[in-house]
Amino acid sequence: MDVKQLKVIDLFAGAGGFGLGFKLAGYDLLCSLEFDQWACDTLRENDKQQVVVEKDIRDFQAPDEIKSVCSITPDLIIGGPPCQGFSIAGPAQKDPKDPRNSLFVDFARWVEYLQPTAFVMENVKGLLSRKNAAHERVIDIIQNTFENIGYSVELWVLNAANFGVPQTRERIFIVGNNLGIDKIGEPQINHNLDITGYPEQNEQLSSFPKGEFSLVPAITLWDAISDLPNLQASEGCEVQAYLHRPTNS
Protein backbone atom coordinates (compact mmCIF):
# COMPACT_ATOMS: atom_id res chain seq x y z
CA MET A 1 0.00 0.00 0.00
CA ASP A 2 1.25 3.48 -0.89
CA VAL A 3 2.23 5.26 2.32
CA LYS A 4 0.36 8.36 1.07
CA GLN A 5 -2.88 6.43 1.38
CA LEU A 6 -2.37 5.62 5.04
CA LYS A 7 -4.57 7.62 7.41
CA VAL A 8 -3.28 8.70 10.83
CA ILE A 9 -4.86 10.00 14.05
CA ASP A 10 -2.54 11.78 16.50
CA LEU A 11 -3.54 11.54 20.18
CA PHE A 12 -1.93 13.74 22.85
CA ALA A 13 -0.78 15.81 19.89
CA GLY A 14 0.81 18.70 21.78
CA ALA A 15 2.20 21.23 19.31
CA GLY A 16 2.25 18.58 16.58
CA GLY A 17 5.83 17.38 16.36
CA PHE A 18 5.01 13.66 16.25
CA GLY A 19 2.26 14.15 13.68
CA LEU A 20 4.47 16.41 11.58
CA GLY A 21 7.02 13.62 11.24
CA PHE A 22 4.39 11.32 9.80
CA LYS A 23 3.12 14.05 7.45
CA LEU A 24 6.64 14.65 6.16
CA ALA A 25 6.92 10.90 5.57
CA GLY A 26 3.85 11.05 3.34
CA TYR A 27 1.07 9.96 5.68
CA ASP A 28 -2.36 11.61 5.69
CA LEU A 29 -2.99 13.12 9.14
CA LEU A 30 -6.76 12.93 9.62
CA CYS A 31 -6.96 14.77 12.93
CA SER A 32 -5.09 15.70 16.08
CA LEU A 33 -6.56 15.41 19.58
CA GLU A 34 -5.22 17.80 22.22
CA PHE A 35 -6.78 19.50 25.24
CA ASP A 36 -4.32 22.38 25.78
CA GLN A 37 -5.61 25.60 24.19
CA TRP A 38 -2.19 27.03 23.34
CA ALA A 39 -1.05 23.79 21.73
CA CYS A 40 -4.26 23.66 19.69
CA ASP A 41 -3.72 27.26 18.54
CA THR A 42 -0.24 26.25 17.40
CA LEU A 43 -1.59 23.23 15.52
CA ARG A 44 -4.14 25.37 13.68
CA GLU A 45 -1.62 28.10 12.88
CA ASN A 46 0.89 25.65 11.43
CA ASP A 47 -1.68 23.83 9.30
CA LYS A 48 -4.95 25.64 8.71
CA GLN A 49 -6.37 22.60 6.88
CA GLN A 50 -5.79 20.25 9.79
CA VAL A 51 -8.69 18.97 11.88
CA VAL A 52 -7.92 19.78 15.52
CA VAL A 53 -10.12 18.30 18.26
CA GLU A 54 -9.66 20.48 21.34
CA LYS A 55 -10.94 18.14 24.04
CA ASP A 56 -9.71 15.99 26.91
CA ILE A 57 -9.27 12.40 25.75
CA ARG A 58 -11.01 11.26 28.94
CA ASP A 59 -14.23 12.79 27.60
CA PHE A 60 -14.40 9.91 25.11
CA GLN A 61 -15.35 6.63 26.76
CA ALA A 62 -17.96 4.81 24.66
CA PRO A 63 -17.12 3.34 21.23
CA ASP A 64 -19.62 5.63 19.48
CA GLU A 65 -18.07 8.70 21.11
CA ILE A 66 -14.63 7.74 19.86
CA LYS A 67 -15.81 6.77 16.38
CA SER A 68 -17.65 10.10 16.04
CA VAL A 69 -14.37 12.03 16.08
CA CYS A 70 -13.42 10.91 12.60
CA SER A 71 -15.64 9.52 9.86
CA ILE A 72 -12.74 7.56 8.33
CA THR A 73 -11.19 4.59 10.11
CA PRO A 74 -7.47 5.31 10.60
CA ASP A 75 -4.75 2.96 9.43
CA LEU A 76 -2.51 4.17 12.23
CA ILE A 77 -2.90 5.75 15.67
CA ILE A 78 0.08 7.58 17.14
CA GLY A 79 0.66 9.36 20.44
CA GLY A 80 2.73 9.78 23.56
CA PRO A 81 0.43 9.42 26.57
CA PRO A 82 1.91 10.20 29.99
CA CYS A 83 2.27 6.91 31.84
CA GLN A 84 3.02 8.23 35.31
CA GLY A 85 1.55 10.97 37.43
CA PHE A 86 -1.79 11.18 35.61
CA SER A 87 -4.37 9.14 37.54
CA ILE A 88 -7.86 8.61 36.19
CA ALA A 89 -10.85 9.37 38.38
CA GLY A 90 -11.09 6.80 41.12
CA PRO A 91 -10.09 5.96 44.67
CA ALA A 92 -7.09 7.88 45.98
CA GLN A 93 -5.35 4.65 46.93
CA LYS A 94 -4.95 3.65 43.29
CA ASP A 95 -1.29 3.30 42.38
CA PRO A 96 -0.30 6.31 40.21
CA LYS A 97 2.71 4.36 38.89
CA ASP A 98 0.46 1.71 37.37
CA PRO A 99 -0.27 2.51 33.70
CA ARG A 100 -3.77 1.08 34.15
CA ASN A 101 -4.47 4.17 36.27
CA SER A 102 -3.13 6.61 33.67
CA LEU A 103 -3.95 8.15 30.31
CA PHE A 104 -2.33 5.16 28.66
CA VAL A 105 -5.68 3.40 29.19
CA ASP A 106 -7.37 5.99 26.98
CA PHE A 107 -4.81 5.50 24.21
CA ALA A 108 -5.39 1.75 24.37
CA ARG A 109 -9.16 2.31 24.32
CA TRP A 110 -8.92 4.23 21.03
CA VAL A 111 -6.81 1.46 19.53
CA GLU A 112 -9.30 -1.18 20.70
CA TYR A 113 -12.40 0.63 19.41
CA LEU A 114 -10.99 1.93 16.10
CA GLN A 115 -8.88 -1.16 15.30
CA PRO A 116 -6.20 0.54 13.18
CA THR A 117 -3.80 -1.69 11.31
CA ALA A 118 -1.00 -0.39 13.51
CA PHE A 119 -0.16 2.01 16.32
CA VAL A 120 2.96 3.79 17.51
CA MET A 121 3.18 4.92 21.13
CA GLU A 122 6.17 6.99 22.26
CA ASN A 123 7.47 7.50 25.78
CA VAL A 124 10.59 8.03 27.86
CA LYS A 125 13.20 5.28 27.95
CA GLY A 126 12.85 5.07 31.74
CA LEU A 127 9.51 3.37 31.19
CA LEU A 128 11.48 0.14 30.67
CA SER A 129 12.64 0.07 34.29
CA ARG A 130 9.53 1.35 36.07
CA LYS A 131 7.43 -0.87 38.32
CA ASN A 132 4.11 -0.36 40.03
CA ALA A 133 3.40 -0.85 43.74
CA ALA A 134 2.91 -4.59 43.14
CA HIS A 135 6.40 -4.76 41.57
CA GLU A 136 5.00 -5.51 38.12
CA ARG A 137 6.98 -4.03 35.25
CA VAL A 138 5.05 -1.15 33.70
CA ILE A 139 6.20 -2.04 30.19
CA ASP A 140 4.89 -5.62 30.62
CA ILE A 141 1.47 -4.31 31.63
CA ILE A 142 1.38 -2.04 28.57
CA GLN A 143 2.53 -4.78 26.21
CA ASN A 144 0.03 -7.30 27.59
CA THR A 145 -2.80 -4.79 27.28
CA PHE A 146 -2.23 -4.41 23.55
CA GLU A 147 -1.66 -8.12 23.00
CA ASN A 148 -4.97 -8.84 24.73
CA ILE A 149 -6.82 -6.73 22.14
CA GLY A 150 -5.21 -8.51 19.22
CA TYR A 151 -1.94 -6.72 18.48
CA SER A 152 1.59 -8.02 18.03
CA VAL A 153 3.87 -5.66 19.94
CA GLU A 154 7.56 -4.81 19.71
CA LEU A 155 9.69 -2.28 21.56
CA TRP A 156 12.18 0.04 19.90
CA VAL A 157 14.67 2.25 21.74
CA LEU A 158 15.75 4.93 19.28
CA ASN A 159 18.11 7.87 19.59
CA ALA A 160 17.11 11.00 17.68
CA ALA A 161 20.78 11.72 16.91
CA ASN A 162 20.92 8.59 14.74
CA PHE A 163 18.26 10.11 12.49
CA GLY A 164 19.71 13.56 11.87
CA VAL A 165 18.51 15.48 14.94
CA PRO A 166 21.19 17.58 16.72
CA GLN A 167 20.33 16.11 20.10
CA THR A 168 21.08 12.83 21.87
CA ARG A 169 17.51 12.03 22.86
CA GLU A 170 16.55 8.42 23.50
CA ARG A 171 12.91 7.38 23.47
CA ILE A 172 11.03 4.10 23.57
CA PHE A 173 8.56 3.37 20.79
CA ILE A 174 5.90 0.75 21.41
CA VAL A 175 4.81 -0.45 17.97
CA GLY A 176 1.91 -2.78 17.35
CA ASN A 177 0.12 -4.30 14.38
CA ASN A 178 -2.85 -6.60 13.88
CA LEU A 179 -1.51 -8.21 10.70
CA GLY A 180 0.05 -11.11 12.57
CA ILE A 181 3.58 -9.81 11.96
CA ASP A 182 5.68 -10.58 15.03
CA LYS A 183 8.56 -8.26 14.18
CA ILE A 184 8.44 -5.32 11.79
CA GLY A 185 11.97 -4.27 12.70
CA GLU A 186 13.43 -0.93 13.73
CA PRO A 187 13.97 1.81 11.13
CA GLN A 188 17.49 1.91 9.73
CA ILE A 189 19.66 4.64 11.21
CA ASN A 190 21.36 7.09 8.84
CA HIS A 191 23.68 9.05 11.15
CA ASN A 192 26.67 7.76 13.13
CA LEU A 193 26.67 8.91 16.75
CA ASP A 194 29.80 6.96 17.72
CA ILE A 195 32.66 9.36 16.98
CA THR A 196 35.13 6.54 17.71
CA GLY A 197 33.63 4.40 14.99
CA TYR A 198 35.99 5.67 12.31
CA PRO A 199 39.43 4.11 11.72
CA GLU A 200 42.55 5.65 13.14
CA GLN A 201 45.52 6.28 10.90
CA ASN A 202 47.03 3.05 9.52
CA GLU A 203 44.08 0.99 10.85
CA GLN A 204 42.49 -1.48 8.45
CA LEU A 205 39.00 -0.72 7.19
CA SER A 206 38.14 -4.43 7.34
CA SER A 207 38.22 -4.29 11.14
CA PHE A 208 35.10 -2.11 11.23
CA PRO A 209 31.49 -3.25 10.91
CA LYS A 210 30.18 -3.66 7.40
CA GLY A 211 28.16 -0.64 6.34
CA GLU A 212 29.67 1.65 9.00
CA PHE A 213 30.76 4.17 6.39
CA SER A 214 27.40 4.37 4.67
CA LEU A 215 26.34 6.54 7.62
CA VAL A 216 26.99 10.25 7.83
CA PRO A 217 28.31 11.81 11.05
CA ALA A 218 25.72 12.82 13.62
CA ILE A 219 24.71 16.48 13.47
CA THR A 220 26.09 18.51 16.37
CA LEU A 221 24.48 21.49 18.06
CA TRP A 222 27.16 23.68 16.47
CA ASP A 223 26.23 22.33 13.05
CA ALA A 224 22.65 23.39 13.70
CA ILE A 225 23.11 26.89 15.14
CA SER A 226 26.54 28.16 14.06
CA ASP A 227 25.07 30.23 11.22
CA LEU A 228 22.74 32.19 13.54
CA PRO A 229 23.56 35.80 14.56
CA ASN A 230 25.81 36.09 17.60
CA LEU A 231 24.66 37.42 20.95
CA GLN A 232 26.89 38.61 23.75
CA ALA A 233 26.46 37.27 27.28
CA SER A 234 23.24 38.62 28.88
CA GLU A 235 22.28 40.29 25.60
CA GLY A 236 18.81 39.79 24.19
CA CYS A 237 17.13 40.64 20.91
CA GLU A 238 13.68 39.82 19.57
CA VAL A 239 14.62 40.16 15.89
CA GLN A 240 18.01 40.04 14.23
CA ALA A 241 19.04 40.14 10.60
CA TYR A 242 20.15 36.81 9.16
CA LEU A 243 23.28 37.70 7.21
CA HIS A 244 24.83 34.31 6.46
CA ARG A 245 24.15 31.50 4.07
CA PRO A 246 22.76 28.41 5.84
CA THR A 247 25.46 25.97 6.87
CA ASN A 248 23.04 23.04 6.97
CA SER A 249 19.74 21.96 5.47
CB 81 within 8 A of CB 42: no
3-state secondary structure (DSSP) of residue 193: coil
- Rounded distance between C-alpha atoms, residue 13 and residue 89, angstroms: 22
Mark whether 237 is an active-site residue.
Answer: no
Kindly name the residue from 31, 40, 83, 237 that is annotated as catalytic: 83
CA-based max dimension of the chain: 67
Q: Measuring CA to CA, which residue among 214, 130, 230 is closest to residue 172?
A: 130
Active site residues: 83
